Homo-oligomer: A and B are copies of this chain.
Amino acid sequence: MPLPFEHLTSAQQLSKEVVASVFAVADDMEKIWSSGKRSKLLEDKIIALLFYEPSSRTMLSFQAAVQGLSAGMELAHGRQNSSMAKGESIEDTIRMVARYSDLIVMRHPEAGSADKAASVSHVPFINAGDGANEHPTQCLLDLYTIQKEKGSLNGLHVAFACDPLQSRTIRSLALGLSQYDDIRFTFISPESLKASKDMLDVFDDRGVAYEETTELSAGIDADILYMNRLQEERFNDHKEFEKYRDQYVLTADMLKGKDTLIMDPLPRIDEIATDVDDLPNAVYFDQARNGVLVRMALMAMLLGKA
């Protein structure tokens, strides 16, 4: 199925149909990747990666996806090296880069920058994170990881800790999962970081069950416990950040006898003790690999080559 959009800027574009069709292509990508080959699918394409905000994880994942498809890669990173530092608008940058490349991936610190970019790009555009706003390929890789580990996106109890208020990752994934049948959420957080009312309203509308709690132990018996570091860059007040960062720490001890799947978008700071890493529950490093596969699938599909 061809994708029903030219640009991916928001996780809200990830309908069940879109998700299913990306996964089908990602499975094909995995077969090629696992055979130790690089696909030649995009060997005639050139892909621009514009990273105007620090992000080694997402940047390297997209680089791997470009290389895995044998595409030509253009790379700009660091805002200080950009035309924007000279006062150029995002729109002008994209109009220019669209003359240089067949597809553009951009990460930018400003919320809304992805929509600005997509509005003027005449080549496919992928939002790789625009500030605290959206990061749809993260949502896609999280869903893909769950699908692979659980065999389905229906009938799941998913717990999220520990910043449902500010984490775009939690928000996107919870909203994405809420489309499926028989979903139940547990949001774990300090009182001041509880999920926003507008998100909970969506769940009410869709008839998705959820509970809110301050106790990490409430997530231990879920099918999936999705941990997330507090992102210091999202706090205005450093003290506020320090106050919360040690409050929720998952240890191997807490998971004894449990088969709860442990996910984390990484980087991990100290929200998961390293003794969890070797448990079969831990799939957070596999998420990284899955990210390459869904990004390969997405780029190939947007370029009509899948």
A interface list, Cβ under 8 A from B: 36-38, 43-46, 48, 51, 54-57, 59-61, 63-64, 66-68, 70, 72-78, 80-88, 91-93, 95-97, 99-101, 229, 231-233, 266-269, 274, 277, 285-286, 288-289, 292
Contacts and interface: CB of A to CB of B under 8 A. Distances in A.
Contacts of A288: 95-96, 99-100
Q: Which 10 A-B pairs have CB atoms at the shortest separation, nearest pair first? A: A67-B72, A88-B267, A99-B289, A64-B100, A63-B74, A99-B288, A83-B267, A56-B82, A54-B81, A96-B288
A100 B57 CA distance: 10
A80 B77 CA distance: 11
Contact of A74 (B48, B64, B85, B286): B64
12 contacts: A54-B80, A54-B81, A55-B81, A55-B83, A60-B74, A63-B74, A67-B73, A67-B74, A87-B267, A93-B267, A99-B285, A99-B289
A273 to B, nearest CB: 12
Contacts of A36: 44
B63 A75 contact: yes
Contacts of A77: 78, 81
A232 B85 CA distance: 11
A56 B93 contact: yes
Contacts of A229: 86
A292 B232 contact: no
Contacts of A64: 46, 72, 74, 100-101
B38 A100 contact: no
A45 to B, nearest CB: 8
Given A63-B75, A66-B72, 12 more contacts: A36-B44, A54-B82, A57-B96, A59-B81, A64-B72, A67-B74, A77-B81, A86-B233, A91-B274, A92-B266, A95-B288, A96-B266
A170 B93 CA distance: 22
A75 to B, nearest CB: 7
Contacts of A74: 60, 63-64, 67
